[in-house]
Amino acid sequence: MSLAEIKNLSVKMGIQEILHGVSLDVPKGSIVAVLGANGVGKTTLMRAISGVYRVTSGEILIEGQPITNMASHKIVERGVCQAPEGRQIFSNMSVRENLVLGGGSHGLAELDKVLALFPLLKERMGQGAGSLSGGEQQMLCIARALMAKPKLLLLDEPSLGLAPKLVALIFQLVARIREEGVSILIVEQNARAALKVADHAHVIDDGRIVLSGPSAELQTDPRIVEAYLGGHVA
Amino acid sequence: MIDPYYLQQLVIGLSLGMTYALMAIGFTLIFGVLNVVNFAHGEVYTIGAFASLVLITAVAPPFVAVVVFALAIGALAGFSLERIAFKPFRRFTDEASLKSRAMREATLLSSLAVSIIAREAIELLFGSQQQAVPFEYLINQPIHLGPVIIVTGDLIIFGISALMLIGLQFLLTRTHVGLSIRAVSNNPLGARYVGINVDRTIIMTFVIGGMMGAAAGILVGLYYGVIFPAMGFIPGVKAFVAMVMGGLSSIPGAVICAIILGLSESVAVTFISSGWADMVAYGFLIVTLIFFPQGLFGARRERV
């Protein structure tokens, strides 16, 4: 059964249409990856789902209920939380305050569970979020989104700007978060890492989905290997 | 041995500074969440004083009730102000519009318009002259502290302002509303991702700012016994100066600068003449703008 269904989604910014009828499904308990180069509409898709951008046409359903063009805070209430591009943490506030805000009406109910995933943050609770390293900030960003007990976690470029070691760690965490029962939609430029962890993947180009399939298949698809994994199929 | 007269002046300066601080907090909070200057803030002060005066003349309630009433009126004024002058210019909530200068300048003018309309309306209703404040409500009974003589108003203003500052600190660090206000100030986009109701948070900011401004209005009105339609202008300017000196979005900075401003004015009155009091504020503003363009307490503001 699908947790999230995106049907024929179009988004216009001003007069320019960025997404032209994107459709995809996130089955319950799965990790779905959206791959693509810079500027093809990946972040636009994520922002539209979270209600930050207006949807021009199409529908977004969570457990069959439409959330299209609802206010962002209502979408979070429906169990859709995002760790956005650029992290967007509250740099002038403490790590704890960031997590409290992430929890919203749940408060700190999820704190123990989240800190079990991110033990590093435990030692940083009283520290200003702006003083964290890039990797720690990314963890805080994901942890903050998990505090609201999401059904669907949206991850927008979680590996951006991180050292390879940290990228591996982040993707390990992504796999563990799924084991906790959270479905995940992840947008990535790092196709190799994303395909390893995802069940299903879609490739976006110029605002359209140009290729879809199970990750295992895409990993060996010559078009993917050449365009996104930087290699040739022997 | 210090002349008790100087100590008295310092006490007066301190209570004056506290009322500037209450006003400056409203400016600072609103500037924090919306990045705009609310030009109608001085009118909230006037409305607080006038509404309370109406209550006093109508039912002669106890003093505490007057203050509570002023707070309620301030909350209502802040709420209405936001709906009338600010909300209509916030139709677009994407990043580009939030940062656009046109949006900011539009609310700058709309708040100025509301300010003029409110002041003129009060003048039409009550006349431009000073209102008679019933004698028994004036807070100027002398208190002798050894050789120093202060008045009840100094204590009341100091006490109420201090309570409100402590309350604000509690609100901003311990409650969800307060954390949301700080979150929206810090990162409006991030606030939307964590599910903060940004619109409601902005309203709450105006409500809190309005409460503090209206309380300052009635306290000063009863302290000097002077309530008139244009009374909000000068304190508004002083609070604005305190906000700029404090670094625009720093609340502790604004409070400290407001108190410095109050104390310096009172020192200027003591040693030069009362006509120089306002010059002190403008002098501080110019010095701050030239030598400390970030404000005395302004951390470099982060813009992602």
pLDDT digits (tens, 9 = 90+) for B199-223: 999 999 999 999 999 999 999 999 9
End-to-end CA distance of chain A: 37
Task: Please name which of A15, A18, A20, A36 lies closest in space to residue A195, comparing C-alpha atoms.
Answer: A36
End-to-end CA distance of chain B: 55
Q: Is B203 on the interface with A (CB under 8 A)?
A: no
Is B195 in Cβ contact with A72 (below 8 Å)? yes
Is B180 in Cβ contact with A101 (below 8 Å)? yes
Is A71 in Cβ contact with B194 (below 8 Å)? no
Residue A202, min C-alpha distance to chain B (Å)? 24
**Model confidence band, residue A221 (pLDDT cutoffs 50, 70, 90):** confident
How far is C-alpha B234 from the chain's CA centre?
11
Is A97 in Cβ contact with B194 (below 8 Å)? no
Q: Virtual CA dihedral for B272, B278, B281, B286, nearest 10 degrees?
A: -100
Strands A65-66 and A80-83: unpaired
**Residue B153 counted as domain residue:** yes
**Model confidence band, residue A56 (pLDDT cutoffs 50, 70, 90):** very high
pLDDT at A91 over 90: yes
For A221, the token pair is 């698809």
Is B196 in Cβ contact with A97 (below 8 Å)? no
The amino acid occupying position B131 is Q
For residues A110 and B132, the model is more confident at A110
Task: Please name which of B246, B247, B243 lies closest in space to residue B301, comparing C-alpha atoms.
Answer: B247
**DSSP letters for A96-158:** HHHHHHHHGGGTTTTHHHHHHH-HHHHTTTTSBGGGS-HHHHHHHHHHHHHTT--SEEEEE-T
Note the pLDDT tens digit of each residue in B269-299: 888 877 788 888 889 889 888 888 888 876 5
Average pLDDT over chain B reads: 90
Which chain B residues have a beta carbon less than 8 Å from that of A82? 193
Q: Is A84 on the interface with B (CB under 8 A)?
A: yes
Which chain B residues have a beta carbon less than 8 Å from that of A138? none
**Model confidence band, residue B146 (pLDDT cutoffs 50, 70, 90):** confident
pLDDT at A40 over 60: yes
Strands A80-83 and A2-13: unpaired
Q: Is B182 on the interface with A (CB under 8 A)?
A: yes
> How many beta-carbon contacts under 8 Å exist across A and B?
77
pLDDT at B304 over 50: no
> Topology of domain A28-40+74-227, per CATH?
Rossmann fold (3.40.50)
Which chain B residues have a beta carbon less than 8 Å from that of A51? 192
Give residues 5 to 64 of B whose Cβ lies within 8 Å of A: none
List phi, psi (to 5°) of A132. -75, 155
For A159-183, what is the mean pLDDT?
94
Is B194 in Cβ contact with A101 (below 8 Å)? yes
Instruction: Quote the DSSP letter at residue B187.
Output: -
**Kind and range of the H or E run holding A213:** strand A208-214
**Residue B170 counted as domain residue:** yes
**Residue B238 counted as domain residue:** no
pLDDT of residue B302: 36
pLDDT of residue B118: 96
Facing B194 at nearest CB: one of A71, A76, A86: A76
Q: Is A51 on the interface with B (CB under 8 A)?
A: yes
B49 near B220, Cβ under 8 Å? yes
Is B180 in Cβ contact with A50 (below 8 Å)? no
Q: Is B197 on the interface with A (CB under 8 A)?
A: yes
Is A102 in Cβ contact with B198 (below 8 Å)? no
For residues B279 and A199, the model is more confident at A199
**Model confidence band, residue A189 (pLDDT cutoffs 50, 70, 90):** confident
B114 near B81, Cβ under 8 Å? yes
Give the Cα separation of B280 and B283 in Å (integer): 5
- Residues of the domain holding B173: 4-231
pLDDT at B151 over 70: yes
pLDDT at B2 over 90: no
Give residues 124 to 153 of A whose Cβ lies within 8 Å of B: 130, 144-145, 148
For B259-268, what is the mean pLDDT?
92
**Residue B263 counted as domain residue:** no
**Residue B175 counted as domain residue:** yes
Total tally of structural domains belonging to chain B = 1
B79 near B209, Cβ under 8 Å? no
pLDDT of residue B109: 92
CA angle A50, A37, A157 (to 5 degrees): 45
For the ranges A1-10, A19-28, A222-231, B106-115, the lowest mean pLDDT is seen at A222-231
List phi, psi (to 5°) of A50. -80, 0
For A70, the token pair is 């609802």
Which chain A residues have a beta carbon less than 8 Å from that of B94? 52-53
**DSSP letters for A42-111:** HHHHHHHHTTSS--SEEEEEETTEE-TT--HHHHHHTTEEEE-TT----TTSBHHHHHHHHHGGGTTTTH
How far, CA to CA in Å, does A219 sit from each of A23, A56, A156, A166, A230? 21, 33, 21, 22, 12
For the ranges A29-38, A119-128, B142-151, B179-188, the lowest mean pLDDT is seen at B142-151
Task: Please name which of B210, B297, B259, B236 lies closest in space to residue B21, comparing C-alpha atoms.
Answer: B259
For A39-65, what is the mean pLDDT?
95
Note the pLDDT tens digit of each residue in B80-111: 999 999 998 887 666 666 667 777 788 889 99
For residues B148 and B14, the model is more confident at B14
pLDDT of residue B65: 96
Residue B18, min C-alpha distance to chain A (Å)? 26
**DSSP letters for B87-147:** GGG-S--SHHHHH-HHHHHHHHHHHHHHHHHHHHHHHHHH-SSPPPPPGGG----EEEETT
Contacts of B120 (CB under 8 A, 6+ apart): none
For B115-141, what is the mean pLDDT?
93
**Residue B183 counted as domain residue:** yes
Angle between helices B198-224 and B41-59 (to 10 degrees): 60
Which chain B residues have a beta carbon less than 8 Å from that of A93? 179, 182-183, 186
The structural domains of chain A, with segments of one domain joined by +, span 28-40+74-227
Give the Cα separation of A210 and A205 in Å (integer): 6
pLDDT at A211 over 70: yes
Note the pLDDT tens digit of each residue in A1-19: 799 999 999 999 888 999 9
pLDDT of residue B303: 33
